[in-house]
Amino acid sequence: MAHEILKKLAEDVIIYILLRLPVKSLMRFKCISKTWYILIRSSTFINLHLNCSKTAKEEFIIFKRSLQVDPFQHKTTLSFLFGDDLNPVLSDLDVPYLESTFVNDYDQFIGPCHGLIALINMINTVLFNPATRNYRLLPPFPTDAPQGFRCSIDGVGFGFDSMANDYKVVRISKVYNDPPYRDPYSREQKVEVYDMITDSWRELDNIDQDMPRIYWAPSSMVFYKTACYWLAIGSKDKMIILYFDMGTEIFNTINLPHTCNSYNGPHYGLLVLRDSITMLRYPNPNPEYDAAQDLMQIWMMKEYGVYDSWMKIYTVRPLHIESPLLIWKDHVILCESREGSLISYDLKLDKIQEFNLQGCPTSLRAICYEESMIQIPCESKDNAQVQFF
């Protein structure tokens, strides 16, 4: 009976209904018929479903942390949270290939970018679709520093090149003399790009050796529209934004408001809010600084690339935090506390909420995610295959 009703429904009506279903249901419905299997797996349907997800109001929080397994082993764990109380909706996942002998506090957690998320440490990059539970290990970063030298990774990014229809990873590094002869002023700046289409790394030519230094913080890198953005330290120790266009593969910079661009003292974060580049300036968590004497400021660039469009949208009372992680629903700041726990601060209600979610100090990260059917590309049988959690 149900099959006869489906046969009578117009194809566009069926597609309209399917586009509004969650990924878990679509994964099951692929088994109904060969026609539905082909439809749901088609790139056209997947992209339409992704755009529908972006307009949906339901967002999940993916929470990353480093947990100590034993004195010499740490693992990276993901939690999937939903609702105002951030209740878990799925079992935690331990991410393979990111185990370490030390706290994973330098790992990057980037996304969602065109439906996918990247988890990157000093060696490995794991691409992941949380909705389908598919993941893939990308080829490791090149380690071709000559004898007597070492390579220091300054920054990494992950994004989508819409012109080439390709995912890319970019790595910014320096090669310098190995101790005891290390000279900080005798170094070479390098930029390498991984193309998923070719499944290989390549080094870019003619890199500006005076390029701004990447500023590291838990929320200091985002992918926005066509480029990767980092907070960076420019000339005279002024904070700026450095960005790399994934299509043209050209670097450029954006100046921060002159009232809050000093490198010495406060800390900074970078994120996207209301589809605009947004900067957070917050007190230094170092005990020698008095956090009570400083406020958090949130600045938004209303018109992209226009310096005069920077506008301070919030001033937040002193909070006892290690760092902000994310602004959720436009008015809730998720933060890591000084003790390594997840807390939130409601900008409208002036209310702090604590959650029973902990990790090793400075290892917490969080992103918003809307479900997608996007498949992780795997161009040939020689590449590392897509796996399932």
Dump the DSSP string for 352-388. EEEEEEE-STT--EEEEE----PPPP--STTSPPPEE
Cα pseudo-dihedral 65, 69, 73, 74, rounded to 10: 0
On whether the CB atoms of residues 139 and 384 are closer than 8 A, the answer is yes
- What is the per-residue pLDDT for 62? 94
Cα pseudo-dihedral 360, 362, 363, 367, rounded to 10: 130
Could you report the per-residue pLDDT of 133-179, keeping only the tens digit for each? 899 999 887 766 666 677 778 889 999 998 998 999 999 988 877 66
d(CA 300, CA 305): 11
Could you report the per-residue pLDDT of 181-214, keeping only the tens digit for each? 556 556 788 899 999 989 999 999 988 888 899 9
Q: In 3-state terms, what secondary structure has residue 99? A: coil
What is the pTM for the complete model shown? 0.87
Element (H, E) at 55: helix 43-55
- CA distances to 121, 122, 183, 186 from 176, in Å: 20, 17, 7, 6
Q: In 3-state terms, what secondary structure has residue 43? A: helix
d(CA 20, CA 26): 10
d(CA 250, CA 252): 7
Cα pseudo-dihedral 47, 128, 345, 106, rounded to 10: -140
Average pLDDT over every residue of 312-334: 91
- What is the per-residue pLDDT for 371? 81
pLDDT at 54 over 70: no
- Residue 103 CB coordination number (10 Å): 18
d(CA 204, CA 197): 17
**In 3D, which of 311, 230, 318 has the Cα closest to residue 274?**
311
Q: C-alpha 234: how far from its chain's center?
A: 23
Residue-range domain boundaries for the chain: 11-51, 60-380
On whether the CB atoms of residues 340 and 372 are closer than 8 A, the answer is no
In CATH terms, 60-380 corresponds, of 2.120.10.80, 1.20.1050.10, 1.10.10.60, 1.10.8.60, to 2.120.10.80
